[in-house]
């Protein structure tokens, strides 16, 4: 009987495209998409913060829309087109305009929330290319930061909007300057 | 946090999904944003998940004659960006912006929210204010469940175990009416400590009719019908409306938790009902 067979919690093959590359892995139905991406695909830029769909550190684009990958099963993503933070900068090292804005506006401190913030802002600016500061704050409702107090994240989002609208220069950063600064 | 082990099936049609629900320990998943959190906490441990999320053609929102028809897989985000929703149901449009956060709204569905019947969910209050039916499919075909008797108790609806919501059919707001949804939320979860949906029509400067949905207060969303009646003929002014809404939590088993005591929730329900009615009246006159 078909139903009896489906009661066996066997492995499922999940095939997804992540940042333009196709991956196929066997996984348990209870595997959460964020762990599938981090542990089975080795893409650890997507973070696990709260694991309860509150903090937004696990935000990814699933078929073009920002979602929290800790509250989606990997099997639900079968066939999906996914973009993670690893898919934002060019392979040449050129940052995405949103990343560049974070760099310039000091939009991060420890950086744990940043991947989710960048992707949430990507969604926000595609939904509303000219947000007010209040709209940015409302649009980042699903992302928590424990360092910055949000001020510079909001500035980064507004700056990213100006860059994407062509109102603010977006130049390739000097790669030599992009090296991490030595500890003081 | 991982859910307990379960088997997974992704049927290609609602009929096939209904067949799989023959298993008494099966559970339907769509967006999963109500069910998966419960499964991670092991408060729900279904043995089989029936994923209707890949069934084609269920994500629609369309306006029919006097009705807004919303398919089982339409998300809050779909509602938020739908011109039909904004034109037909001001109160739903407003509430759709208030559920969870943007990422949650991209996965959670209206139908899932209603089937889950969380006592603090936003949408149950809104659909009660609008009125309509829930169209379900089960082993014996389709039937329509009246929204007024749909919510039975905490996390319990009039859906049979083997039935799945295929469409939510909401009444379009009457011409000239105003709608509002106001909530006082728990800041981390964004769940409503109290949420009030109100639809108000005016006639000659007085309230001609009012429909109100309340969430977050009792074990289930409800309509305070005595308040709806008391508002008829009342001028949409602060003191008059305040007097008419005093009984909004009367006779309700008002819930208390670490975030808000029953007394505080009852107080919030009176304050927010007054504000929601006044805002809806202002929009009706606007």
Kindly state the average pLDDT of the residues B17-26.
97
Contacts of residue B4 in chain A, CB cutoff 8 Å?
30
Alpha helices by DSSP H, listed for B29-101, are: 35-40, 76-80, 83-88, 90-96
The whole-angstrom distance between B107's CA and the closest CA on chain A is 7
Contacts of residue B100 in chain A, CB cutoff 8 Å?
53, 142
The whole-angstrom distance between B48's CA and the closest CA on chain A is 6
Write out the residue limits of the CATH 3.30.390.50 domain(s) in chain B: 178-281
Q: How far is the C-alpha of B142 from the C-alpha of B72, rounded, in Å?
A: 14
Contacts of residue A10 in chain B, CB cutoff 8 Å?
7
Contacts of residue A72 in chain B, CB cutoff 8 Å?
32, 36, 107
For chain A, residues with pLDDT lower than 50 are 1-6, 183
Three-state secondary-structure class, residue B202: strand
The whole-angstrom distance between B130's CA and the closest CA on chain A is 26
Please, what is the average pLDDT of chain A?
Answer: 91
Fold category of B178-281 in CATH: Enolase-like; domain 1 (3.30.390)
Residue B33: partners with Cβ closer than 8 Å, 6 or more residues away = A53, A71, B100, B104, B107, B108, B112
Interface of chain A against chain B, CB under 8 Å?
A: 3, 6-10, 12, 28-32, 51-54, 56, 59, 62, 65-68, 71-73, 75-76, 78, 120, 123-124, 139, 141-143
Residue B16: partners with Cβ closer than 8 Å, 6 or more residues away = none
Residue B167, pLDDT above cutoff 60? yes
Contact call for B103 and A75, based on CB within 8 A: no
Write out the residue limits of the CATH 3.30.465.10 domain(s) in chain B: 61-171
Which pLDDT score is estimated for A1?
Answer: 35
Q: B161 exposed, middle or buried (CB, 10 Å; 0-12, 13-18, 19+)?
A: exposed
What chain B residue is nearest to A13 in terms of C-alpha separation?
A: B8
Contact B33, B12 (CB under 8 A): no
Kindly state the average pLDDT of the residues B14-34.
96
- CA B105 to mean position of chain CA atoms: 14
Which pLDDT score is estimated for A21?
Answer: 98
The CATH number assigned to the domain with range A2-87 reads 3.10.20.30
The whole-angstrom distance between B21's CA and the closest CA on chain A is 9
Q: What is the pLDDT of residues B134-165, one digit of tens each?
A: 999 999 999 999 999 999 999 999 999 999 99
Contact call for A7 and B23, based on CB within 8 A: yes
Chains A, B: CB pairs < 8 Å: 99
Q: What is the pLDDT of residues B85-111, one digit of tens each?
A: 999 998 999 999 999 999 999 999 999
Contact call for A68 and B7, based on CB within 8 A: no
Fold category of B61-171 in CATH: 3.30.465
Write out the residue limits of the CATH 3.10.20.30 domain(s) in chain A: 2-87
What chain A residue is nearest to B33 in terms of C-alpha separation?
A: A71
The whole-angstrom distance between B280's CA and the closest CA on chain A is 23
Contacts of residue A62 in chain B, CB cutoff 8 Å?
106
Please, what is the average pLDDT of chain B?
Answer: 96
Contact call for B104 and A123, based on CB within 8 A: no
Which of A30, A51, A71 is closest, CB to CB, to B33? A71
Contact call for A54 and B36, based on CB within 8 A: no
Contact call for B36 and A9, based on CB within 8 A: no
Q: How far is the C-alpha of B252 from the C-alpha of B195, rounded, in Å?
A: 15
Q: How far is the C-alpha of A159 from the C-alpha of A77, rounded, in Å?
A: 33
Alpha helices by DSSP H, listed for B137-237, are: 225-231
Its pTM stands at 0.93
**Interface-testing mutation among A4, A5, A7, with chain B (most B C-beta atoms within 10 A):** A7
Contacts of residue A65 in chain B, CB cutoff 8 Å?
77, 106
Sign of the dihedral through C-alpha B253, B257, B260, B261? positive
CB atoms within 10 A of CB A28: 18
Contacts of residue A29 in chain B, CB cutoff 8 Å?
5-8, 49
Which of B22, B33, B103 is closest, CB to CB, to A59? B103
Tokens linked to A171: 């130049």
CB atoms within 10 A of CB B3: 23
Write out the residue limits of the CATH 3.30.43.10 domain(s) in chain B: 7-51
What chain A residue is nearest to B19 in terms of C-alpha separation?
A: A3
Contact call for B8 and A29, based on CB within 8 A: yes
Share of chain B above pLDDT 70, in %: 100
Q: How far is the C-alpha of A38 from the C-alpha of A45, rounded, in Å?
A: 8
Share of chain B above pLDDT 90, in %: 96
CB atoms within 10 A of CB B9: 22
The CATH class, in words, for A97-173 is mainly alpha
Contact call for B51 and A51, based on CB within 8 A: no
Contact B208, B232 (CB under 8 A): yes
Contacts of residue B45 in chain A, CB cutoff 8 Å?
none
Q: How far is the C-alpha of B195 from the C-alpha of B265, rounded, in Å?
A: 10
What chain B residue is nearest to A53 in terms of C-alpha separation?
A: B104
The CATH class, in words, for B7-51 is alpha beta
């Amino acid at each position: 009987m078909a139903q009896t067979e489906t009661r066996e919690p066997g492995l499922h093959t999940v095939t997804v495209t992540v940042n333009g590359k196709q991956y196929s892995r066997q996984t348990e139905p209870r595997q959460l998409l964020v762990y599938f991406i981090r542990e089975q695909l080795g893409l650890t830029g997507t973070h696990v913060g709260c694991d309860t769909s509150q903090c937004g550190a696990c935000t990814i684009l699933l078929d073009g829309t920002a979602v929290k990958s800790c509250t989606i099963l990997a099997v639900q993503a079968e066939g999906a087109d996914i973009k993670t933070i690893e898919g934002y900068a060019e392979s040449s090292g050129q940052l995405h305009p949103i990343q560049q804005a974070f760099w310039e506006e000091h939009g991060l401190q420890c950086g744990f929330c940043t991947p989710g913030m960048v992707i949430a802002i990507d969604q926000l600016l595609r939904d509303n290319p000219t947000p007010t500061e209040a709209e940015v704050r409302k649009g980042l409702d699903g992302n928590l930061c424990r360092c910055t107090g949000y001020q510079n994240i909001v500035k980064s989002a507004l700056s990213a909007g100006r860059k994407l609208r062509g109102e603010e220069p977006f130049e390739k950063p000097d790669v030599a300057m992009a090296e991490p600064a030595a500890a003081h | 946090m991982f859910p307990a082990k379960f088997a997974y099936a992704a049927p290609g049609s609602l009929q096939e999904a209904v067949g799989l629900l023959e298993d008494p320990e099966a559970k339907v998943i769509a967006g999963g944003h109500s069910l998966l959190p419960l499964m991670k906490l092991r408060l729900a441990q279904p043995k089989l998940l029936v994923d209707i999320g890949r069934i084609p053609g269920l994500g629609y929102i369309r306006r029919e004659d006097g009705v807004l028809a919303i398919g089982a897989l339409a998300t809050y985000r779909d509602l938020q960006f739908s011109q039909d929703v904004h034109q037909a149901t001001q109160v739903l449009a407003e509430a759709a912006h208030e559920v969870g956060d943007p990422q949650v709204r991209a996965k959670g569905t209206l139908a899932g929210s209603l089937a889950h019947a969380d006592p603090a969910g936003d949408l149950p209050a809104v659909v009660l204010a609008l009125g309509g039916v829930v169209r379900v499919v089960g082993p014996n075909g389709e039937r329509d469940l009246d929204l007024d008797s749909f919510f039975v108790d905490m996390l319990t609806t009039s859906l049979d175990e083997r039935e799945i919501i295929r469409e939510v059919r909401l009444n379009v707001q009457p011409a000239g009416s105003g709608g509002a949804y106001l909530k006082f939320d728990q800041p981390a979860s964004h769940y409503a400590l109290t949420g009030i949906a109100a639809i108000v029509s005016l006639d000659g400067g007085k309230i001609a009719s009012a429909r109100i949905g309340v969430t977050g207060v009792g074990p289930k969303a409800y309509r305070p019908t005595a308040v709806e009646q008391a508002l008829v003929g009342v001028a949409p002014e602060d003191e008059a409306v305040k007097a008419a809404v005093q009984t909004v939590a009367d006779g309700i088993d008002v819930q208390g938790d670490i975030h808000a005591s029953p007394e505080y929730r009852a107080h919030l329900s009176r304050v927010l009902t007054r504000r929601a009615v006044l805002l809806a009246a202002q929009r009706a006159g606007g």
